[in-house]
Amino acid sequence: MENKLNEISAKFHDIEERMSRPEIISDVNQFRNLTKERSLLAPIIHSFVEYKRLKGEYKNSSGLLETEKDEEMKEMLKADVAELQKKISDLEEKLLFMLLPKDPNSGKDLLIEIRAGTGGEEAALFAAVLFRMYSRYVDIKGWKFEFIDANYTGIGGYKEVVFSIKNAEAYDMMKYESGVHRVQRIPTTESGGRIHTSAVTVVVLAEAEDNDVVIDPNDIRIDVYRSSGHGGQSVNTTDSAVRLTHIPSGMVVTCQDEKSQLKNKAKALRVLRARLYEKELKEKMARESELRKAQIGSGDRSERIRTYNFPQSRVTDHRIGLTLYSLDSILDGNIDVLIEPLKKHEIEQLLKTTQK
């Protein structure tokens, strides 16, 4: 561990030296990137400095204990050595956690796509419930929310809804939401009172920066058409809706929420870039070590991750076997009770893998 920390310390001091150079200071992008990198390393360096200080004190106190003849002084030194041992052990655990491999998307803004799956209209209605749950969570956290696009149904549901969240910590919290969310309840459209099971797919995408994915304009086919809203009613009378087709991958993105064709195109490009970035990242992750397999925020959209049972007010996360009987509170946006145990479990798995 100390060898790794010494490498990070050397890198940190190199960054600081580079940030003092006039040619770097005058280059806004380079200086911003170095500042971001330095801010990520600074907590590790501060803890490492404290770790070395405690190790030095421990060595001095242990040496004095070996040569001390006075019994009263020896007892004081023993207590001092024991306290230093505990502080060093606690700090070692903290440093080990800080050295765990970071998610490559950590710190990025994100896009969330919610799509109705099996269950028809009932699935679309539950997609709207999940959209409200995440919207409330964003409000509680004080993050920035932006609506991107939606495909509505006639009675208040969503066949698909896309939105973005901007905050440095948002991705690390929301990545656990990717997957299939199952709902068990009596539909409002069901007169017989039978419990139906429906499913909604949630996809969490890191919003790609310009240098993450390069899209050749010649690889995109752009179609424009007249947008429509609730129940097929015309939103406007111009061809403002945009459909982008990425020819090499076959990916199709549509956006019609804005009245401006240019704004719809810009939003659709953001979604396309994020999807292509996710595709590239997954291909890279598939080639990497077991460390990635230990992480549960994998974004696998085919994995059933959670069941919301309305008759019993029960929510079960199947990845860690967590069951809570607080459905109303969770659907009102209080989902930290689900996310925090998932984060803790992932850290424990990563620590086990790292220490093998």
Residue extents of the structural domains in the chain: 2-98, 110-348
Q: Which pTM does this prediction carry? A: 0.70
Architecture of domain 110-348: 2-Layer Sandwich (3.30)
Decide: helix, strand or coil at residue 122. helix
**Bridge partner list, 158:** 152
Tokens of 188: 């409002």
Closest CA to 170 of 146, 200, 149, 151: 146
Beta-sheet pairing, 179-185 with 304-309 = parallel
What pLDDT does residue 232 have? 43
pLDDT on residue 356: 53
Which parts of the chain have pLDDT scores under 70?
A: 189-192, 228-238, 285-302, 353-356
The predicted-structure confidence for 288-339, as pLDDT tens digits, reads as follows: 555 455 555 544 556 799 999 999 999 999 999 999 999 999 999 999 999 9
